[in-house]
Amino acid sequence: MKQENIVHQENKIIPAQIEKEAKKALSYYPELKDIEIEFRYKDEIKKSFMQAQPKFSNLFKGKNSRSYYIFMSRKLNIEGDEFSMDEVPSDVIIGWLGHELGHIMDYREKSAVGLMIFGMRYVTSSRYIKEAERAADTYAVNHGMGEYILKTKNFILNNSDLSEAYKKRIARLYLSPEEIVVLVNKLEEDMEDSDKEKDLEEAEKETN
Ligand SMILES: [Zn+2]
Protein backbone atom coordinates (compact mmCIF):
# COMPACT_ATOMS: atom_id res chain seq x y z
CA MET A 1 0.00 0.00 0.00
CA LYS A 2 1.33 3.41 -0.85
CA GLN A 3 2.14 5.85 1.90
CA GLU A 4 -0.61 8.40 2.23
CA ASN A 5 -0.25 12.07 2.98
CA ILE A 6 -1.59 13.10 6.32
CA VAL A 7 -2.30 16.67 7.32
CA HIS A 8 -1.81 17.60 10.96
CA GLN A 9 -3.59 20.74 11.92
CA GLU A 10 -3.57 21.70 15.56
CA ASN A 11 -5.53 18.87 17.15
CA LYS A 12 -6.92 17.36 13.93
CA ILE A 13 -5.31 14.65 11.83
CA ILE A 14 -6.69 14.43 8.31
CA PRO A 15 -5.68 12.41 5.23
CA ALA A 16 -4.79 14.93 2.50
CA GLN A 17 -7.28 13.29 0.14
CA ILE A 18 -10.24 14.58 2.15
CA GLU A 19 -8.63 17.63 3.76
CA LYS A 20 -10.91 20.12 2.02
CA GLU A 21 -14.08 18.19 2.91
CA ALA A 22 -13.06 17.58 6.52
CA LYS A 23 -12.22 21.25 7.09
CA LYS A 24 -15.50 22.32 5.55
CA ALA A 25 -17.50 19.95 7.76
CA LEU A 26 -15.52 20.99 10.85
CA SER A 27 -16.24 24.65 10.14
CA TYR A 28 -19.88 24.00 11.08
CA TYR A 29 -18.91 22.74 14.54
CA PRO A 30 -17.07 25.47 16.46
CA GLU A 31 -17.67 23.43 19.67
CA LEU A 32 -15.26 20.81 18.37
CA LYS A 33 -12.40 23.25 17.90
CA ASP A 34 -10.57 22.06 21.02
CA ILE A 35 -11.41 18.41 20.57
CA GLU A 36 -8.78 16.07 19.16
CA ILE A 37 -10.11 14.18 16.15
CA GLU A 38 -8.26 11.80 13.92
CA PHE A 39 -9.74 11.03 10.51
CA ARG A 40 -8.34 7.72 9.43
CA TYR A 41 -8.79 5.28 6.57
CA LYS A 42 -9.59 1.78 7.67
CA ASP A 43 -9.65 -1.26 5.42
CA GLU A 44 -13.14 -2.33 6.16
CA ILE A 45 -15.92 -0.99 8.31
CA LYS A 46 -18.83 -3.25 8.90
CA LYS A 47 -21.91 -2.20 6.94
CA SER A 48 -20.97 1.46 6.56
CA PHE A 49 -18.65 3.97 4.93
CA MET A 50 -17.70 5.85 8.03
CA GLN A 51 -17.74 5.41 11.76
CA ALA A 52 -17.07 7.78 14.65
CA GLN A 53 -15.80 6.46 17.95
CA PRO A 54 -14.01 7.64 21.08
CA LYS A 55 -10.36 6.64 21.48
CA PHE A 56 -10.33 4.05 24.20
CA SER A 57 -6.92 5.18 25.55
CA ASN A 58 -8.32 8.40 26.98
CA LEU A 59 -11.97 7.50 27.37
CA PHE A 60 -11.79 7.91 31.14
CA LYS A 61 -9.94 11.21 31.18
CA GLY A 62 -13.08 13.30 31.41
CA LYS A 63 -15.45 14.61 28.80
CA ASN A 64 -13.26 17.47 27.61
CA SER A 65 -9.98 15.56 27.34
CA ARG A 66 -11.34 12.74 25.28
CA SER A 67 -10.34 12.31 21.66
CA TYR A 68 -12.09 10.62 18.79
CA TYR A 69 -11.59 8.74 15.57
CA ILE A 70 -13.60 9.10 12.43
CA PHE A 71 -12.86 5.93 10.49
CA MET A 72 -13.49 5.96 6.78
CA SER A 73 -13.58 3.14 4.33
CA ARG A 74 -12.22 3.48 0.80
CA LYS A 75 -14.69 0.92 -0.36
CA LEU A 76 -18.12 -0.10 0.68
CA ASN A 77 -18.63 -3.79 0.32
CA ILE A 78 -22.10 -5.13 0.92
CA GLU A 79 -23.20 -8.54 -0.27
CA GLY A 80 -20.52 -8.59 -2.91
CA ASP A 81 -21.36 -5.16 -4.33
CA GLU A 82 -18.36 -2.91 -4.21
CA PHE A 83 -18.51 0.84 -4.25
CA SER A 84 -15.46 3.08 -4.19
CA MET A 85 -15.05 6.28 -2.21
CA ASP A 86 -13.56 7.90 -5.35
CA GLU A 87 -17.01 7.84 -6.94
CA VAL A 88 -18.46 9.99 -4.17
CA PRO A 89 -18.84 13.75 -4.93
CA SER A 90 -17.19 16.25 -2.61
CA ASP A 91 -20.44 17.67 -1.16
CA VAL A 92 -21.63 14.18 -0.31
CA ILE A 93 -18.40 13.48 1.59
CA ILE A 94 -18.86 16.77 3.46
CA GLY A 95 -22.38 15.66 4.44
CA TRP A 96 -21.12 12.27 5.48
CA LEU A 97 -18.39 13.78 7.65
CA GLY A 98 -20.92 16.24 9.08
CA HIS A 99 -23.03 13.28 10.18
CA GLU A 100 -20.01 11.64 11.86
CA LEU A 101 -19.16 14.90 13.64
CA GLY A 102 -22.78 14.86 14.82
CA HIS A 103 -22.03 11.51 16.49
CA ILE A 104 -19.05 13.09 18.24
CA MET A 105 -21.28 15.91 19.52
CA ASP A 106 -23.58 13.21 20.89
CA TYR A 107 -20.67 11.27 22.46
CA ARG A 108 -19.39 14.40 24.17
CA GLU A 109 -22.51 14.52 26.29
CA LYS A 110 -22.10 10.98 27.57
CA SER A 111 -20.02 9.69 30.46
CA ALA A 112 -17.36 7.01 29.83
CA VAL A 113 -19.58 4.32 31.29
CA GLY A 114 -22.51 5.75 29.35
CA LEU A 115 -20.46 5.44 26.18
CA MET A 116 -19.56 1.82 26.86
CA ILE A 117 -23.17 0.92 27.47
CA PHE A 118 -24.07 2.87 24.36
CA GLY A 119 -21.49 0.89 22.35
CA MET A 120 -22.87 -2.42 23.53
CA ARG A 121 -26.46 -1.46 22.86
CA TYR A 122 -25.52 -0.10 19.47
CA VAL A 123 -24.43 -3.55 18.34
CA THR A 124 -27.36 -5.38 19.83
CA SER A 125 -30.37 -3.16 19.29
CA SER A 126 -31.63 -1.62 16.07
CA ARG A 127 -33.77 0.75 18.10
CA TYR A 128 -30.56 2.11 19.59
CA ILE A 129 -28.89 2.42 16.21
CA LYS A 130 -31.90 4.33 14.96
CA GLU A 131 -31.79 6.70 17.91
CA ALA A 132 -28.06 7.33 17.50
CA GLU A 133 -28.21 7.86 13.75
CA ARG A 134 -31.11 10.26 14.08
CA ALA A 135 -29.31 12.19 16.79
CA ALA A 136 -26.24 12.53 14.54
CA ASP A 137 -28.31 13.75 11.57
CA THR A 138 -30.18 16.18 13.82
CA TYR A 139 -26.95 17.65 15.20
CA ALA A 140 -25.68 18.15 11.65
CA VAL A 141 -28.89 19.82 10.47
CA ASN A 142 -29.05 22.07 13.54
CA HIS A 143 -25.45 23.12 12.86
CA GLY A 144 -26.47 24.39 9.44
CA MET A 145 -25.47 21.35 7.39
CA GLY A 146 -28.99 20.48 6.21
CA GLU A 147 -28.19 20.89 2.51
CA TYR A 148 -25.17 18.62 2.74
CA ILE A 149 -26.99 16.00 4.78
CA LEU A 150 -29.77 16.02 2.21
CA LYS A 151 -27.30 15.60 -0.64
CA THR A 152 -25.67 12.67 1.11
CA LYS A 153 -29.01 11.05 1.81
CA ASN A 154 -30.24 11.48 -1.77
CA PHE A 155 -26.92 10.27 -3.13
CA ILE A 156 -27.29 7.03 -1.19
CA LEU A 157 -30.99 6.44 -1.69
CA ASN A 158 -31.01 7.25 -5.43
CA ASN A 159 -27.80 5.46 -6.29
CA SER A 160 -28.33 2.48 -8.51
CA ASP A 161 -24.75 1.30 -7.93
CA LEU A 162 -25.34 0.82 -4.22
CA SER A 163 -26.86 -2.41 -3.06
CA GLU A 164 -30.55 -2.54 -2.19
CA ALA A 165 -29.71 -4.04 1.19
CA TYR A 166 -27.57 -1.05 2.10
CA LYS A 167 -30.19 1.44 0.91
CA LYS A 168 -32.91 -0.34 2.86
CA ARG A 169 -30.75 -0.21 5.96
CA ILE A 170 -30.20 3.53 5.53
CA ALA A 171 -33.90 4.14 4.89
CA ARG A 172 -34.85 2.14 7.98
CA LEU A 173 -32.36 3.60 10.45
CA TYR A 174 -31.62 7.17 9.38
CA LEU A 175 -33.72 10.28 8.96
CA SER A 176 -35.50 10.33 5.61
CA PRO A 177 -34.98 13.21 3.14
CA GLU A 178 -38.52 14.38 4.01
CA GLU A 179 -37.74 14.43 7.72
CA ILE A 180 -34.56 16.39 7.04
CA VAL A 181 -36.50 18.99 5.04
CA VAL A 182 -38.92 19.32 7.96
CA LEU A 183 -35.99 19.86 10.35
CA VAL A 184 -34.36 22.42 8.06
CA ASN A 185 -37.65 24.33 7.73
CA LYS A 186 -38.19 24.28 11.47
CA LEU A 187 -34.69 25.61 12.02
CA GLU A 188 -35.30 28.44 9.57
CA GLU A 189 -38.60 29.30 11.27
CA ASP A 190 -36.93 29.31 14.68
CA MET A 191 -34.24 31.61 13.35
CA GLU A 192 -36.83 33.96 11.87
CA ASP A 193 -38.71 33.97 15.17
CA SER A 194 -35.60 34.85 17.13
CA ASP A 195 -34.79 37.57 14.57
CA LYS A 196 -38.30 38.96 15.04
CA GLU A 197 -37.85 38.88 18.81
CA LYS A 198 -34.58 40.74 18.48
CA ASP A 199 -36.21 43.31 16.22
CA LEU A 200 -38.98 43.76 18.79
CA GLU A 201 -36.43 44.17 21.58
CA GLU A 202 -34.54 46.72 19.52
CA ALA A 203 -37.74 48.60 18.77
CA GLU A 204 -38.66 48.61 22.46
CA LYS A 205 -35.23 49.94 23.41
CA GLU A 206 -35.60 52.72 20.90
CA THR A 207 -39.01 53.78 22.21
CA ASN A 208 -37.78 53.78 25.82
ZN1 LIG B 1 -23.97 7.39 11.85
Give distance in angstroms: CA of 123 to centre of ligand 1: 13
Residue 205: what pLDDT? 79
Give distance in angstroms: CA of 105 to centre of ligand 1: 12
pLDDT digits (tens, 9 = 90+) for 47-65: 778 999 999 888 888 888 8
Mean pLDDT of 132-154: 95
Does 127 reside within a domain? yes
Give distance in angstroms: CA of 155 to centre of ligand 1: 16
Give distance in angstroms: CA of 11 to centre of ligand 1: 22
Sheet holding 50-54, edge to edge: 6-9, 12-15, 36-42, 67-73, 50-54
Give distance in angstroms: CA of 99 to centre of ligand 1: 6
Number of domains in the chain: 1
Give distance in angstroms: CA of 197 to centre of ligand 1: 35
Does 26 reside within a domain? yes
Candidates 35, 22, 203; CA nearest to 96 is 22
Does 34 reside within a domain? yes
- DSSP letters of 137-178? HHHHIIIIIHHHHHHHHHHHHT-TTS-HHHHHHHHHHS--HH
Give distance in angstroms: CA of 171 to centre of ligand 1: 13
- Is pLDDT above 50 for 1? no
Domain around 84: 6-207
| pLDDT: which is higher, 92 or 4 | 92
Does 37 reside within a domain? yes
C-beta neighbour count of 146 within 10 angstroms: 21
Euclidean distance between CA atoms 20 and 25, whole angstroms? 9
pLDDT digits (tens, 9 = 90+) for 182-200: 998 988 888 888 888 888 8
Does 143 reside within a domain? yes
* Residue-averaged pLDDT of the chain: 87
50 by DSSP, 3-state: which?
Answer: strand
Residue 37: what pLDDT? 97
Give distance in angstroms: CA of 204 to centre of ligand 1: 45
pTM for this model (two decimals): 0.86
Residue 197: what pLDDT? 85
Does 1 reside within a domain? no
C-beta neighbour count of 179 within 10 angstroms: 15
Does 16 reside within a domain? yes
Give distance in angstroms: CA of 124 to centre of ligand 1: 15
* H or E element in which residue 112 lies: helix 112-124
